[in-house]
Amino acid sequence: MLLERLSNAFGPSGCEEEVRDIILDAIKDDIDEHRVDALGNLIALRKARGSSLKGFPRRVMVAAHMDEVGLMITHIEKEGWLRFARVGGVDARVLLAKAVVIGDKRVPGVIGIKPIHLMREDERTKMPRIEDLYIDTGSSDRSQAEKLVKVGDYAVFSTRFAAVKESPLRAVKGKAFDDRVGCAVLAELLKQDYAFDLYATFTTQEEVGLRGAQVAAYAVDPDVAFALEGTICDDMPRKRDVSPGTRMGQGPAITIMDRSVIVDKRLVKLLLQSADKLEIPHQFKQSVTGGTDAGAIHLAREGIPAAVVSVPSRYIHSPVCMLSLSDLEHTVTLMDEALHRLEGGLPE
């Protein structure tokens, strides 16, 4: 499964080569042209096929970001411990006692923590600070560690993808579903024929500020755009009757507004019409937090109508996320139908 290969790949923001190679290999037979721009975005074009259009839209951009959150080595202590900074939004609490891989040589490491036996009461309830954490590569001093890693190397969680056996929701677990699941959906869409030029844009550096999408949207200059995401799912049991963000297993999530974009109302309508026609389960993203590539894309040049469709993913930005393969498949179906409807233009 492509999602498995993508999830296992090493690809923090600014270091997306491995992910890009996997994607290009997967889509090469379905595209007419591709290029990699200065920021590392993979811009793949599947030209219009079949019946001609009314004239709008001629170019449609669908974006998914290749990068994941990670760490970067900032300093090697004389004892060989590696200090690090965050690349993108990582919660310090999820880092403790986690296995990571570092740098081009994919050196294994462990983020250390004091054993519970030695912890004082107050240490157990205290939030750790990033600057107090370190990665242990099993080296005994700086010179040994420097043979394995160097300052500036990236690290990501070393989680391996797996199916959650017997899961009624057909759940899978792995790292970086934000946004490798979007990449997987986008690769599927490239197998379909549409009456407009489809620019499948696999972007870089989303997690550090939608940077790849900003320049890619300028270059592609599309008439309409979509961002595909693996989004916040906060549907755990709770006492308060408040928003779950999204719910896993309830279908693709359509965004109305987040921190980065207010979605074009015509595109929300298009997505809802598509879901209704094929009776695809779907939901709204019930939170206005988070930003997506659509935030950068819709502000390119004179402005571009843009929407966001997401696969609900639990525990994103942590070492292990979970999503439902049914949600993934429904997202492909919804997007395929929406793109076909778009051949007739935007709804009023």
Partner 1 sequence: MKELIKNLTETYGPSGSETRVRQLIEEEVRALSDQVRVDSMGNLMALKKGDGSGRKVMLAAHMDEIGVIVTHVDQKGFLRFGAVGGLRPLVLIGSRVLFANGVTGTIGVEKLDSPNKVPPLDKLYIDVGAVSKDALSVGVGDAACFVRPFVDQGNRLTAKAFDDRIGCAILIQTLRTLIDTPHDVYFVFTVQEEVGLRGARTSAYGVDPDVGIAVDVTTTGDTPEAHPMAVSLGNGPAIKVKDSGMLTHPGVKNLLIDTAERLGLPYQIEVLERGTTDGYAMQVSRAGVPTGVISIATRYVHTPSEMIDYNDVLNSVKLLAGLLSNLIELA
* Residues in touch with partner 1 (CB under 8 A): 241-244, 256-257, 262, 264-265, 268, 284, 286-289, 298-299, 301-305
CA atoms of 191 and 28, how far apart (whole Å): 11
Is residue 179 reached through a cis peptide bond, with omega within 30 degrees of 0 on the bond before it? yes
Q: Compute the least distance from the CB of residue 223 to partner 1, in Å.
A: 9
Two tokens, residue 79: 């004892």
Q: Which amino acid is at 282?
A: H
3-state secondary structure of 90: coil
Q: Which of 206, 229, 337, 343 is catalytic?
A: 206
* Helices and strands counted in the chain (H then E): 9, 17
Which residues lie closer than 8 Å to 45 by C-beta, 6 or more apart?
31, 32, 33, 34, 197, 198, 199, 200
Q: Compute the least distance from the CB of residue 113 to partner 1, in Å.
A: 31
Q: Compute the least distance from the CB of residue 29 to partner 1, in Å.
A: 34
Residue closer to partner 1, measured from CB, 262 or 320: 262
3-state secondary structure of 35: strand
CA atoms of 99 and 110, how far apart (whole Å): 4
From residue 251, alpha-carbon distances to 258, 280, 283, 311 in Å are: 19, 7, 6, 7
User: In the annotation, is 206 catalytic?
Assistant: yes
Residue closer to partner 1, measured from CB, 8 or 286: 286
From residue 159, alpha-carbon distances to 108, 173, 175, 339 in Å are: 11, 9, 6, 34
Q: Compute the least distance from the CB of residue 183 to partner 1, in Å.
A: 27
Contact, 17 vs 103, CB < 8 A?
Answer: no
What is the helix (H) or strand (E) element at residue 280, kind and residue range? none
Neighbours of 225 (CB within 10 A): 30
3-state secondary structure of 172: strand
Residue closer to partner 1, measured from CB, 133 or 338: 338
Q: Compute the least distance from the CB of residue 281 to partner 1, in Å.
A: 15
From residue 25, alpha-carbon distances to 21, 42, 210 in Å are: 6, 12, 25
Neighbours of 230 (CB within 10 A): 29
Q: Which of 15, 3, 88 is nearest to 317 (CA)?
A: 88
Residue closer to partner 1, measured from CB, 169 or 272: 272
Q: Where are the alpha helices (DSSP H) in 247-324?
A: 265-278, 293-297
Known catalytic residues? 206
